[in-house]
Every structure is written in C-alpha cells, then in structure tokens.
Amino acid sequence: MSLRATARIVADADGGLPLLVSDGPLALRRTRAAGPYTRVTVVGAMSAPLGGDRLAIETEVRDGARLLVDSAAATLALPGRSTDPAAYDVRISVGDEGELRWLPEQLVSAAGSHLRMRTTVDLAPTARLVLREEQVLGRHGEPPGTLVTRLTVRRDGRALLDQELAFGPGAPGDWDGGAVLGGHRATGQLLVVDPAFAEKPAESRLHGENAVVSPLAGPAALVTAVAPDALALRRVLDEALVALVPF
C-alpha cells in the first residue's frame, strides 16, 4: 500500500516554531543550533520513499525569521510493491528579511527505484536563501534507479530558476555521457540568493575541476558540481559556499 504524508514547518521572527508537524516517515525535531538560526532536523522514521509513495514537506519562513533545516541521514529512494513512481515535494516560502538554509543530506537513488522530486521556493524581495541538493546515483556497486528532480525558484513572483534533471533508466539523452555526468555518480546544486548580489554579482567561474559557479538573472548564484562520490561532492559544495561569502 502506498504512503501519503505531509510534514509542516512554520518559523517566526522571535525564534519560535508555531507549527511543527511530523507525518508518516517525516519526523521533525527542533535541534540545537550553533548560530543565529532556529534549527529543525528531519529524521526518517521508516523506509521511504518507496514506489507509489507521495511525500511532502511544507515550510514557511515568516518575515524576519531565520531557519536552518537539515536531516539526520540521507534519503534513500527504494523500489516498492507499486510500479508507480514515488513523489517527494518540497514547498518553501520565505518572507521579507527572512533567511533560510535548506541543507538536507544526500538523496540516494537505489537500483530499481523511480522517484520524482520537486522543490518549489517562493521568496520575498528581501529574503535570503542557501539551498543545497545532492543526488547519489546508486549505492556502492549498483546501478542507479530512475530519478527526476525539478527545482523552481521565484523571487517577488518572478522566475529566478527553473531546472529539471533526469538520470537513470529511461532518462532522456545521454545522461551519463561527457556532457552531463562524465561517468561520475554524485551530482549536486548549491543555490545562494542574497540581495547583496544586486550590488556585486557573483563571477562566472570554474570551481576546481568539476564545478562551475554561475550568476543568475537576479541576486543569486548557482553552483553545479559532479563528483565520484558523496564525500567529494560535499567538499566541493562546502568550499563553494565559503567562496560565495555566505550570510
């Protein structure tokens, strides 16, 4: 039987969490933060997403709030009894002067799985965002499942980024070829949105051998990277974040 679950987070400017609702495999816990952010950690309460599951996390960062969301472990997409794709939707809104760091662990696409993940972000004009997505294609020694991810970000109601990636069996094009992954098994994106980029945009440049920093048509920068494994990918994205002078 397929699973339906939606977890919800609402963060206030005073550091409070007026809404923190876990559901199904998505267990939310308020955890200690070293910096100025209220921190919520997503803890997997059971194996998910499996084929046919429909999971979602809805997050509202109200005006002036500062929130960090991370996860306790990687998300593992697995095959299930249903042959239907699993769906995982992340819906985020950040108000004026609000700040969000969305830093989950990796998404691992296991052999035989089929997951469609969509992340939608709506930002107020003065909102700030650091969002990291990392995909690991297959566990050690196995081929990947089918993974389709889409990241859509709007700022002040206007499109800032709309990007779709597809990997694994049935994915269009030469997804494992030299123009895409080049044989690597880990890939990721780091998006930084900061009104300060309006005065001093990020420079377009290579970061190491397998990552590129691209300024967007708005106060934002996107880092795209590939790597042989999850550890190397995290290292590259962390270095790129420091280089972009994070808030």
Domain locations along the chain:
4-197
Structure tokens at 69: 């969301």
**Exposed/middle/buried for residue 206 (C-beta within 10 Å: 0-12, 13-18, 19+):** exposed
DSSP symbol at 195: G
pLDDT at 45: 59
> 131 near 161, Cβ under 8 Å?
no
188-203 pLDDT, tens per residue? 999 999 999 998 888 8
Name the nearest CA neighbour of 236 among 200, 151, 244, 40: 244
Name the nearest CA neighbour of 54 among 30, 82, 21: 82
pLDDT at 228: 93
Which residue ranges of the chain lie beneath pLDDT 70?
A: 1, 45-48, 178-179, 245-247
